[in-house]
Structure 1
Amino acid sequence: MDSFGRKRVSGLLWIVLCAAPLVLLGCSPPPPGEVVVYTALDQEFSEPIFEAFTRRTGVEVKPKYDTESTKTLNLVSAILAESERPRCDLFWNNELLHTLRLERQGALRAYQSPTTAAYPAEYRSAEGEWCGFAARARVLLVNTQLLAEARWPDSIEDLTDPQWRDRCGIAKPLFGTTATHAACLYQAWGKERATRFFEDVQRNCRVMSGNRQVSKAVASGQLLFGLTDTDDAMLEVEAGSPVKIVYPDQGADQEGEELGALFIPNSLCLIKGSPNPAAAEQLMEFLLSPMVEGRLVDGPGAQIPLNPATEAKPRVETPDSVRAMPADFAEAAAGWDAAAEELKRIFATAG
């Protein structure tokens, strides 16, 4: 081979060697990517779980949070406003009412998975558009230093008793789990009775911006008792505050079979047309796993497991140990707009 031929072969070999890394790079898997989550669960509870997901998968979680008092409503409003060009891939709601409202407005994408199928039918969509997990109960929190046990309230209707005027509290029932509770009461009682109840509550109670504020006010002695969630109540219990949780409406002599302690799950749903659908499904599977639900059960929020495979033991009562309020969440969501108009009128100047 002459010198020209040798140079030509060497040149071709050099081109091949230089091109090989580019070919290999082109065949390598794409980077893990990202997933955008709008979450109403408190950042202190959800952020460590997102970090665990990223460590396991390499997928970056970009969460959007909002303020304590109006976060669910603001996040839902954002999802609806962005419906033409969705930014959110997955919505982690800390209640169920507004998830069902998104479902009714066609904003959700169906996703059937073996993980979802493990949850009880009443806590998931038959069409696969949402799944509930890690519940909380609506409870009364009592200051034990200021109120003797014989006088403890045992019903949500104690919030309307004039003897406790301005010494009991509730979060404004237009947001969060208090809104879900209000919607369920309108569905169970009907408009007339529920409206009368909330009018009495507004006159009698101190109306606060959120359940956390109610729990803190009871623990500090600003209130004798208040209606709140088990996660906020347990933060005070386990901090050593002089408080006790009362599960309302447990007595056989109390009016109405429709009462009891209302249990409200967290809920997950995928947003239709979102930019990162595969990563969103991956994150949803992770969040619904027994491991993650167990972490929420064992964590400071003391959530209540709904997946039978979750081995963690709850630190609060469950629907198996106390009387639960029967709730038709779908019907409550369907009637929410009408109920909200009444509640806006009643609580226009409160909170």
Structure 2
Amino acid sequence: MRWIGAAAVTASLAAVAGCGGGTPAAAPADGAALTIYSGRSENLVGPLLDRLEKAVGVDVEVRYGSTGEMAAQLLEEGADSPADVFFGQDAGALGALSGAGLLAPLPADVIAPAAAKYRATDSTWVATSARARVVTYNPDLVPAADLPRSLDDLLDPKWKGRIGYAPSNASWLSFVTGLRLIRGEDGARQWLTAFAAQNPQRFDGNGAILDAVAAGTLPAGLVNHYYLYEKTSEVDPAGYKARNHYVPNDPLGLVNVAGAGVVEASDNKEAAQRAVAFLLSEEAQQYLVDETGEYPVVEGVTPTRDYDLAPLASLSPPDVNLADLSSLEQTEAMLQQVGLL
């Protein structure tokens, strides 16, 4: 498998955009290489895409970048894009690409392994894994009694300057988009304005937030759940002082998905469909659960690694249609208005 390199795009997506299924057996007639635009990082999914290459039976070229960068690249290229598959970490980006007509409908047998709530209503994309928003915290700095039980608890004066967030991260943008859907535009703006007045600490990404919490330089932060499991696969969990706190029935507990779709302009759609089907196979789902700590979207897959992953069914996330997380342009505009971007 050949790595093409990160996209040379700095504009965000919003600025540009305004157990299961086996892989089909048929091979593409021309045997052309398959090009994947991956908004999932190489360190997380590189080995999985190596396996995908073998399963699909054609050479695979991967271009890595952030989900926003790769989606913006595809939007810029349009019908001239060399991409065959888009693999992103956020339902909002997938929805934006679908809304722009850049993703082709997937066959029913390809998306069948995933539950209906994890597929686009027009079948243009399908989730490949799920992740929950959590409050990561240092138990030496935050007593259990002080952990937030709702979004509004973070507006208490005791949290002033003590919460971290990653303003440019896709998961933060999707969280805010979910907040807009749940509370409406006025309600979301009101909360964000109050949160900005709390002087939250800015970080480049979720991993940096987690490290600061574990080091004791930051009491708590807003991240995705799986970053903790990724980190504790490399270090002693007992000595790494960061914990996940789940907040049910609240925007803080939004469950979002990574997912994939076939690019409408692809000349290699059969191989691209097999690639998406592989991502829903038992092999791929097991990899994502064990190696990234994410939730499977196919029933019957459970972790074989020894980590404390709360069952997805137990999280009681807010009721948000994932397809509606695509309104990222409005989210970025609101965040700029309140000074959180």
Shorter chain as denominator, the TM-score bin is 0.7 to 0.9
Larger Rg: 1
Q: Could you list the runs of 5+ residues in structure 1 that have no partner in the other structure?
A: 1-28, 251-256
CA deviation string 1:246-275 (max 9, x = no partner): 101x3xxxxxx6646211111111111123
- Are residues 1:272 and 2:264 paired? yes
Distance in 2 of aligned mates of 1:285 and 1:107: 19
SS at match of 2:79: coil
Letter of the aligned partner of 1:186 in structure 2?
R
Letter of the aligned partner of 1:185 in structure 2?
L
- Are residues 1:306 and 2:297 paired? yes
Q: TM-score, normalised by structure 2?
A: 0.83
- Are residues 1:167 and 2:162 paired? yes
Distance in 1 of aligned mates of 2:281 and 2:186: 42
Q: CA RMSD in A?
A: 2.2
Distance in 1 of aligned mates of 2:303 and 2:231: 21
Report the equivalent of 2:321: 328
* Compared CA separation, residues 53 and 317, structure 1 to 2 (3 A): same
Letter of the aligned partner of 2:39 in structure 1?
A
Letter of the aligned partner of 1:328 in structure 2?
N
The offset of 1:332, in angstroms, is 3.5
Distance in 2 of aligned mates of 1:57 and 1:187: 38
Q: Could you list the runs of 5+ residues in structure 2 that have no partner in the other structure?
A: 1-27
- Are residues 1:185 and 2:176 paired? no
Equivalent residue runs for 1:1-351 within 5 Å: 32-66=31-65, 71-172=66-167, 174-204=168-198, 205-238=200-233, 239=235, 240=237, 241-248=240-247, 250=248, 259=251, 261-299=253-291, 301-312=292-303, 315-333=308-326, 335-347=327-339
Contact preservation (8 Å) 1:34, 1:62 = yes
Say which is worse superposed, 289-298 or 275-284, in terms of deviation: 275-284
Letter of the aligned partner of 1:265 in structure 2?
V
Distance in 2 of aligned mates of 1:94 and 1:259: 19
Distance in 2 of aligned mates of 1:260 and 1:212: 18
Distance in 2 of aligned mates of 1:180 and 1:152: 22
SS at match of 2:262: strand
Distance in 2 of aligned mates of 1:113 and 1:134: 18
How many residue pairs get aligned? The number is: 307
Distance in 2 of aligned mates of 1:32 and 1:347: 50
Contact preservation (8 Å) 1:111, 1:128 = yes
Contact preservation (8 Å) 1:290, 1:311 = no
Distance in 1 of aligned mates of 2:311 and 2:35: 32
* Compared CA separation, residues 271 and 164, structure 1 to 2 (3 A): same
Letter of the aligned partner of 2:321 in structure 1?
D
The offset of 1:120, in angstroms, is 1.1
Q: TM-score, normalised by structure 1?
A: 0.81
Contact preservation (8 Å) 1:156, 1:227 = no
SS at match of 1:307: coil
Report the equivalent of 1:5: none
